[in-house]
Each structure stands twice: as structure tokens, then as C-alpha cells.
């Protein structure tokens, strides 16, 4: 055992292959059996009707077809057109991802076990790697493998011992601007743990929670950072109107966020007023803690008495780098308090940074949800999303610096740690003005609601 230099016989290998791909033999066998049993004409009619049925489904009901049949048929077609043995082997060999059995001299290749095609632009391969290989070897060869397989980019994930997942993005999934989220009319219809921000590369809605969360958004200038908080705020509009969400905004840049001034509970745009606002935010959080401790409120239900508070810190890097080191140190201490204690009292924060430098990365861990849009340096990607995120495919520094890519970025999926490409909806100035008008004019009155609806 284990000492022979001969490899398995060809018939044994053929049998094993057939066992792994039962459909390849079973389908023609079933058609032949049906032809002999029921006659060739009726078999032809049955097969033809099945094909016509699928084609009819494709044409008549795109939504259900794309959801149910599309991924299965696409995966099947890609399995046999694109990821077939010789092509796959050539790519692996070119990237030095095959191994040679020292005894038999046989070349061993990681084997594709499963192909999934969740969206028209993404394929996911489950691959059994060869003994002695590790996902890390693939991580170092992702760029080469993407070229060899003629795809835009590849991310890798370890699924279980001996099995990795390769996520292949064949082309840019986001070619169009995503329209701003609708303004919901009723507070009751908004789930603060499930707010629409945009779309994912899988063509699904990108939704995020806000209650008890702290969000960190990094992106070079022009990357479209504002579209994340603006989309979120449109989703929260009726709660802001009804006093269930209070906005505290630090806007040292005095640009986009100044449009929100009228609907902010507090707004600050100078170094000293920002410091004051943050101090008051912490004091508000501590007052809520005391109220909870004294039994005045039992637990956090969003109400006028215990609203959700949202602290938005634009240019967080600039705030932390302000002249006086004492001020910056105090600010870091206060943000650490909000980061660790705000969850229980409904005090969240959203921090936006252009360059994730030492100062901002040091407080990154306070934020429970991190979003990385286009960055200028590869080294910053892991600083935002966590170790190895870039190796796993979060190529935020390779997003082209052109207006057509604004709002595109990555988040890391909690459990698998695989980066997910996302695009935020775009909220332009008129839609921000619409949000402000909605909140300030109180379209909650039944007659006005009717008019709007």
C-alpha cells in the first residue's frame, strides 16, 4: 500500500469519473430507454416540450426564471463549456497550482467538485485541492489565475479541510447607477435592522442593520462614500420625521452633509463645535444608561423616549488629526466609549474616512460593519476590511478611478470572511432635498400621505 509506482488503471479512472458525473451517462441512457420503451416519437415530443417549456419560462417570467432556473442551467452550461478538464488543467499548470506525484510521476490537479453560478457575472467553484496544498497558495496566485481563466478577478475561501471555494468575477457586475431608495411613509414599515443601501454583485439587495451597529466607510475622494449614509437616511426618513431617530452630524468639510442641517438634532462644522457635539453625544448616551439602570426603561425599544441616535462623522481622519493632541486623544476616548457602550442604548455612529491611515485604522475595530470603496493604496484595504481581505479578492485599490465606478466597493461577509462587491444607490442633491422636505413638512398626515401615495 502506498509504495507502487503504477497509477490506477484507465478503466478504473473512467468508472470513478462516471460515478462523479452520473448525469453524463444517465441522461442519454434515460432518453434511449424511453425511446425503446415508449417509442421515439413520443420521447422526442416529451424532450421537445420540456425544452420549449423552459424557453417559454425564460421569455414569459424573467423574475422567477432568473431566480430558480437561471443559476442551475447557467452553472451546468459553464461547467461543461468553461471549466472542462483540459482548459482548467492548462490554467492551473500555467499558474503552478498542479503537483506531480513523486512516485508515479502523474500530474495531480485540484478537482472541481461543484460549480455554482449565482449571478450572470459570478461563478463559484468548490475545488478539492491536492494533498500538500492550502488555500494560501491560491491566494498568492489569484491575479495569474484570473488572467489564465480570462476573468476580471478571483477571490478564494477555505470551505473545509481539503476544499476551497473560488469566486470568479467574470466582468464588472455594476454597469449602471442604482437609483436612490424610495422614501417609506410609515415608521412602522421600516426595519432598522434591514435597510436598503444598494445591490450586491449577486444582483441581490444590499441591506444593512443600523440599530446597535457602528459603520466605517473608507474611500478615496470621489469614491462615493456619501451615498451610503444618504441611502440609509432615506430609508430612515419617517423615523427621523417622527422623532424616533435623531441625527448628530459632524461636518468639518461643510459640503454634502450641510444639506441635512435642517433635519439634524445637532449639527457642527468647526473643530470646536464638533468636539462639543461629540462630548454631548457621549453625555446623552450615559444619561440613557442611567435611565436604563434606574429601571425607567427596561430595554431598548425605539420610541420617542428612547430614540435611536446616529452620530455621523464626516472626515473622521481629519477630526482625529486635529492640531491639539489632547483634543484628538479625548476624541478617541469618546469614540471608544460609543463603540463599546452605544449598542445597549441605541447610540450608533457612522465614520467616513478618505485615507485609512494609522489614526483611523487604530479605531477601526470599534466599528462593527466596515465598507471599503475605491482606495488609492493596496496596503490600506486590509486596514479597513481586516487581514487578508485583499488576498481574498477585495481589490478596492484596483477599482478604476473614474466617475462610472463611484459607489462600488466591498464588505466582508461575517461568517465566511469572503469579500462581497457591492454598489450603493446614488442619492443626488435633489433627492437629499426631497428627504429634508419629507422630514420637515411631516408628510405623515393621512391626507398628505394619500396625496403622496
Binding residues vs ligand ATP (CB under 6 A): 177, 219, 221-227, 354, 403, 406-407, 424, 426
Instruction: Tell me how far, at minimum, the Cβ of 386 lies from ligand ATP, in Å.
Output: 21
Cell of 404: 462610472
Instruction: Tell me how far, at minimum, the Cβ of 178 lies from ligand ATP, in Å.
Output: 6
List residues bridging with 127 in a β-sheet.
112, 164
Q: Name the residue among 195, 307, 314 with its Cα closest to residue 245.
A: 307
Instruction: Tell me how far, at minimum, the Cβ of 407 lies from ligand ATP, in Å.
Output: 2
Whichever of 212 and 222 has its CB closer to ligand ATP, that residue is: 222
Residue 221 is labelled as binding a ligand: yes
Q: Which residue is nearest to ligand ATP (CB)?
A: 407
Residue 121 is labelled as binding a ligand: no
Whichever of 120 and 222 has its CB closer to ligand ATP, that residue is: 222
d(CA 13, CA 106): 13
Instruction: Tell me how far, at minimum, the Cβ of 125 lies from ligand ATP, in Å.
Output: 30
DSSP letter string, 300-368: ---SSSS-EEEEEETTHHHHHT-S-HHHHHHHHHHHHHHHHHHHHHTEEEEEEESS--HHHHHTGGG-S
Residue 222 is labelled as binding a ligand: yes
Whichever of 367 and 426 has its CB closer to ligand ATP, that residue is: 426
Is 291 exposed, middle or buried (CB count within 10 Å of its CB: 0-12, 13-18, 19+)?
middle
Residue 211 is labelled as binding a ligand: no
Q: Is 51 helix (H, G, I), strand (E, B) or coil?
A: helix
Residue 306 is labelled as binding a ligand: no
Residue 219 is labelled as binding a ligand: yes
Largest Cα separation within the chain, whole Å, is 89
Cell of 217: 466607510
| 359 close to 223: Cβ distance less than 8 angstroms | no
Whichever of 223 and 366 has its CB closer to ligand ATP, that residue is: 223
Whichever of 224 and 238 has its CB closer to ligand ATP, that residue is: 224
Whichever of 110 and 181 has its CB closer to ligand ATP, that residue is: 181
Instruction: Tell me how far, at minimum, the Cβ of 432 lies from ligand ATP, in Å.
Output: 11
Residue 155 is labelled as binding a ligand: no
Q: Name the residue among 152, 199, 195 with its Cα closest to residue 174.
A: 199
Residue 27 is labelled as binding a ligand: no
Chain centroid to Cα 76, Å, comes to: 25
Instruction: Tell me how far, at minimum, the Cβ of 227 lies from ligand ATP, in Å.
Output: 4
Binding residues for ATP: 219-226
Binding residues: 219-226
Amino acid at each position: 500500500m502506498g509504495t507502487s509506482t503504477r497509477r490506477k488503471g484507465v478503466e478504473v479512472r473512467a468508472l470513478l469519473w462516471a460515478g462523479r458525473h452520473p448525469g453524463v451517462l444517465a441522461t442519454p441512457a434515460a432518453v434511449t430507454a424511453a425511446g425503446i420503451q415508449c417509442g421515439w416519437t413520443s420521447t422526442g415530443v416529451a424532450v421537445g416540450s420540456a425544452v420549449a417549456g423552459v424557453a417559454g419560462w425564460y421569455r414569459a417570467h424573467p423574475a422567477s426564471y432568473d431566480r430558480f432556473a437561471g443559476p442551475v442551467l447557467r452553472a451546468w452550461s459553464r461547467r461543461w463549456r468553461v471549466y472542462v478538464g483540459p482548459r482548467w488543467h492548462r490554467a492551473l499548470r500555467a499558474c503552478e497550482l498542479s503537483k506531480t506525484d513523486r512516485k508515479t510521476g502523474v500530474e495531480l490537479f485540484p478537482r472541481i467538485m461543484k460549480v455554482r453560478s449565482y449571478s450572470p457575472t459570478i461563478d463559484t467553484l468548490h475545488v478539492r485541492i491536492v494533498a500538500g496544498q492550502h488555500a494560501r497558495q491560491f491566494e498568492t496566485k489569484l491575479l495569474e489565475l484570473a488572467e489564465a481563466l480570462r476573468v476580471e478577478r478571483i477571490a478564494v475561501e477555505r470551505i473545509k479541510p481539503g476544499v476551497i471555494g473560488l469566486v470568479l468575477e467574470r466582468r464588472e457586475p455594476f454597469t449602471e447607477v442604482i437609483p436612490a431608495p424610495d422614501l417609506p411613509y410609515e415608521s412602522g414599515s421600516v426595519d432598522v435592522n434591514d435597510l436598503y443601501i444598494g445591490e450586491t454583485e449577486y444582483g441581490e439587495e444590499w441591506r444593512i442593520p443600523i440599530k446597535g451597529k457602528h459603520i466605517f466607510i473608507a474611500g478615496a475622494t470621489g469614491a462615493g462614500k456619501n451615498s451610503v449614509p444618504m441611502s440609509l437616511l432615506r430609508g430612515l426618513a419617517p423615523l427621523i420625521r417622527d422623532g424616533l431617530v435623531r441625527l448628530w452630524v459632524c461636518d468639518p468639510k461643510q459640503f454634502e452633509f450641510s444639506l441635512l442641517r435642517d433635519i439634524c438634532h445637532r449639527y457642527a462644522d468647526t473643530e470646536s463645535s464638533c468636539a462639543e457635539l461629540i462630548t454631548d453625544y457621549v453625555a446623552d448616551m450615559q444619561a440613557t444608561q442611567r435611565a436604563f439602570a434606574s429601571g425607567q426603561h427596561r430595554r431598548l425599544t425605539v420610541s420617542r423616549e428612547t430614540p435611536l441616535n446616529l452620530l455621523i462623522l464626516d472626515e473622521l481622519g481629519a477630526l482625529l488629526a486635529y492640531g491639539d493632541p489632547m483634543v484628538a486623544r479625548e476624541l478617541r476616548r469618546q469614540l471608544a466609549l460609543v463603540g463599546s457602550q452605544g449598542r445597549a442604548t441605541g447610540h450608533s455612529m457612522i465614520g467616513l474616512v478618505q485615507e485609512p491611515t494609522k489614526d483611523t485604522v487604530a479605531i477601526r475595530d470599534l466599528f462593527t460593519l466596515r465598507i471599503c470603496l475605491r482606495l488609492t493604496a493596496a496596503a490600506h484595504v486590509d486596514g479597513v476590511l481586516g487581514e487578508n481581505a485583499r488576498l481574498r479578492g477585495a481589490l478596492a485599490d484596483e477599482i478604476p478611478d473614474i466617475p462610472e465606478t463611484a459607489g462600488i466597493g466591498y464588505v466582508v461577509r461575517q461568517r465566511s470572511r469572503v469579500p462581497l462587491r457591492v454598489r450603493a444607490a446614488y442619492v443626488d442633491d435633489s433627492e437629499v432635498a426631497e428627504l429634508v422636505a419629507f422630514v420637515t413638512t411631516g408628510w405623515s398626515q393621512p391626507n398628505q400621505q394619500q396625496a403622496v401615495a
